[in-house]
Amino acid sequence: MERVQTEPVAIPKPAARTSQVLLVTDRDKTVGTITVPDPVFKCRDVNVHYGDKHAIKNVSIEIARNQVLAMIGPSGCGKSTFLRCLNRMNDTIPSAVVTGSITLDDQDIHDKRQDVVQLRARVGMVFQKPNPFPKSIYENVAYGPRIHGLAGDRVELDEIVHTSLQRAGLWEEVKDRLNQPGTSLSGGQQQRLCIARTIAVNPEVILMDEPCSALDPIATARIEDLMEELRQSYAICIVTHSMQQAARVSQRTAYFHLGDLIEVGETDRIFTNPRHKLTEDYITGRFG
Amino acid sequence: MTPLALLVTLLGLSTVAFWIGKSHSLATVGGKSGVRSLHSLPGHYGLLAAAWCALPALVVIGLWLAFQDAILVKLVTAHLPESVRALSPAQFSLVLNDVRNVVAGNVPASSVDANSAAAAAEYLHLRSISRVALTALALSIGVLAIIFVRRRIVPEMRARNQVERIVEWLLLGCSTFAIFTTIGIVASVLFEALRFFAQVSPWEFLTGTVWSPQTAIRADQVGSSGAFGAVPLFAGTLLISAIAMVVAVPTGLFAAVYLAEYAHPKFRTWTKPFLEILAGVPTVVYGFFAALTVGPALRGWGEGMGLSVASESALAAGLVMGIMIIPFVSSLADDMITAVPQSLRDGAYALGATKSETIRQVVFRAALPGIVGGVLLAVSRAIGETMIVVMAAGLAANLTANPLEAVTTVTVQIVTLLVGDQEFDSPKTLAAFALGLVLFVATLALNVLALHIVRKYREQYE
């Protein structure tokens, strides 16, 4: 618990702009650099429609390895919808139509040859509310490796469960009760169990959809520490409503507004020197 | 006044009470202009007066009528000659029967003996006195109540709250009605069953393997003394229920999985009504189907394959009962499956599980306790089901596990024991109550268990 840091990072207020460049107000073009060197995901002109609703409008962005990308924006801005495009979770919603190109390691994820089951094994996801399966702690973590045949025998499976729980920082708390139901854990532990379950499949990217919104500050701090460690091996995309959290955990930040990707950039730069009027309004708390 | 006329009069009186209460409350504050200084609306005072007028009088009428007959009979029989009162209880009840028939006007007084005719005349005379007394009592209670309430009406009186209280008591009365009815049913079954167990030992009843309830009615008749081993009935019931569950559980469950997880909404909207129609078919119609279509068809196929199938077989009854239970299982399982939160499905999909893996290993696992509860409810329905087995399962109390033979069930035997003219002191008839008690205890236990499981499961995801 010594690494727990609960005090919020102070967000530097943008200095009073007197003579600087005028802020951009055009919503059609994304401000900032959307490209990164050696991207894992490349998205170009992604559009999502839910029936008549145009939820994501021409979003282009690249996602870097070994980095945390934070997606922020007011409720209903489409950040979760965009996240769900990356592992094609929108396929489970009958009315959703996704267009545009999304490539994972230069392979189109909407290609006919792309097996959606394989895609989701490579792109893990952690949800807003912890959703452990109605199984034991061990079986929760072992579920992914089992269905993908990642372990040759019981010894290997034990090993995967052990390392996954350890990397999720949960091993010490549950090692004596692996056979108890996953739902018997506290909220924060359940969320770390879900993270362990995700990394047990050894994905390349981990998507997190407001993973801390149902947790208390201490559990939140543990998950944030965990993200810092996990980014050594994975690319991480996190949707969050907390700007403090985005500032603490991410290296890059993307600001969404009503389905448009307004601004992307280094987290430090976005929070100190936003270039778009809407970004500035949001991070200074004028709306949101 | 007859009781009906009395009730109508009382209704009129309480309407008068309503108007008196309403107008008097206004009068205490000086007419309509003072209505704001009343605690409650004038109508509340009226309702209160009406309730006070009617309810106590109704209680008195109810109690009076409940005991009137018993008291009158006591009085009348006390005046019968010594020779009649000394008769044996059976013959004495015949005399009483004559008296009642004359009183009810079913037979002319001239057709019975003089004693009975006199008693009937006395009964009628006493009853008319009793009615006059009741009328006077009830109406005076009503009038007194009106006067009492009218004197108590003052502007500060909380008529609104008191009306509320009266309504609450009325609601309580209605809700306890079901409880008392249940207690009454259980008690009647229990007492008759105890009379049966006074003649046949419970041990013999529960463990005996021979069921032959025919007993000689007269001493000179040739007939067995009856054997009341109920094991063949229990076995038959379980066999047919098991066949029904083998049909209903997989079919119903898979139908529910398809409808809840795979089916296109359009297919769902078309299929659901058909399942509901299946649930709405009267069981007697299923009975025809089993006895006239399925039974003979099974016998025909059996002959074709060289098997001997009874035309009334456990298999036919079980199959049709299973079909009857399919919609019951599927709609319960459907509820349970749709209650599994979408987040669990998302979690499995996000790990790269396919649809069938998600359903089998996550959704089904999560819904399992609820489904088990639903299946137990279905079992208790199968055990208690009567019409299909009466028509299709047969009457022979065979102790067999062969579904191609005729068996009989607890419910079938209850029906056959109680159909027709019966004497209610022979073990043959009383056995029906013992069987009813066993059935009641079994289905009650299953229902309690099932509802407990289902409720616990629902709480988990709410």
pLDDT number for residue B97: 83
In this predicted structure, the answer to whether residue A19 has a pLDDT above a threshold of 50 is no
Taking the C-alpha atoms of residue B27 and residue B30, their distance in angstroms, rounded to an integer, is 5
Q: What percent of chain B has pLDDT over 70?
A: 96
pLDDT tens readout for residues A229-253: 899 999 999 999 888 999 999 999 9
Is B343 within 8 Å of A129 when comparing Cβ atoms? Answer: yes
Distance of alpha carbon A125 from alpha carbon A138, whole angstroms: 19
- Burial zone of A153 (CB within 10 Å; 0-12 exposed, 13-18 middle, 19+ buried): exposed
Going by pLDDT thresholds of 50, 70 and 90, the confidence category of residue A193 is very high
Per-residue pLDDT band for A2 (boundaries 50, 70, 90) equals very low
Torsion of CA B84, B85, B91, B96, to 10 degrees: 90
Rg over CA atoms, chain A: 19
Q: Which of residues 67-106 of B touch A (CB under 8 A)?
A: none
- Is B276 in the A-facing interface, judged by CB distances under 8 Å? no
DSSP string, B150-203: HHH--TT--HHHHHHHHHHHHHHHHHHHHHHHHHHHHHHHHHHHHHHHHHS-HH
DSSP state of A232: T
- Mutation pick from B342, B351, B459 vs chain A, by most beta carbons of A within 10 Å, is B351
User: In 3-state terms, what secondary structure has residue B393?
Assistant: coil
Q: Å from A138 to nearest chain B CA?
A: 15
Classify domain A39-283 by CATH number.
3.40.50.300
Cβ contacts of B41 within 8 Å, gap of 6 or more: B35, B160
**Chain A closest-CA separation from residue B364 CA (Å):** 10
pLDDT-derived band at B247 (thresholds 50, 70, 90) equals very high
Q: Give CA separation, B327 vs B42, B278, B322, in Å.
A: 54, 7, 10
Taking Cα atoms as reference points, which of A56, A69, A65, A132 lies closest to residue A99?
Answer: A56
pTM reported for the whole predicted model: 0.73
**Measured between CB atoms, does A136 come within 8 Å of chain B?**
no
Nearest-CA distance from A128 to chain B in Å?
Answer: 9
Cβ contact, residue pair A127, B345, below 8 Å: no
pLDDT at B147: 92
* pLDDT, tens digit (0-9, with 9 covering 90-100), for B333-385: 998 898 888 899 999 999 999 999 999 999 988 888 888 888 998 999 999 88
Q: Which residue of A has its CA nearest to B357?
A: A147
Q: Tell me if A198 and B350 make a contact (CB, 8 A cut-off).
A: yes
Of residues B341, B354, B460, nearest to A117 (C-beta):
B354
pLDDT in tens, B408-437: 899 998 888 888 777 777 788 888 899 999
CA distance A122 to A143: 15
Q: What is the pLDDT of residues B5-64, one digit of tens each?
A: 999 999 999 999 999 999 999 888 888 888 888 888 889 999 999 999 999 999 999 999
On whether the CB atoms of residues A254 and A72 are closer than 8 A, the answer is: yes
- Which of A93, A139, A143 best tests the B interface by mutation, with the highest count of B CBs <10 A? A143
Taking only residues 336 to 395 of chain B, the set having a beta carbon closer than 8 angstroms to any beta carbon of chain A reads 341, 343-354, 357, 361-362, 365-366
Across the interface, do B351 and A197 touch by the CB < 8 Å criterion? yes
A204 to chain B, any CB pair closer than 8 A? The answer is no
> What ipTM was predicted for this assembly?
0.85
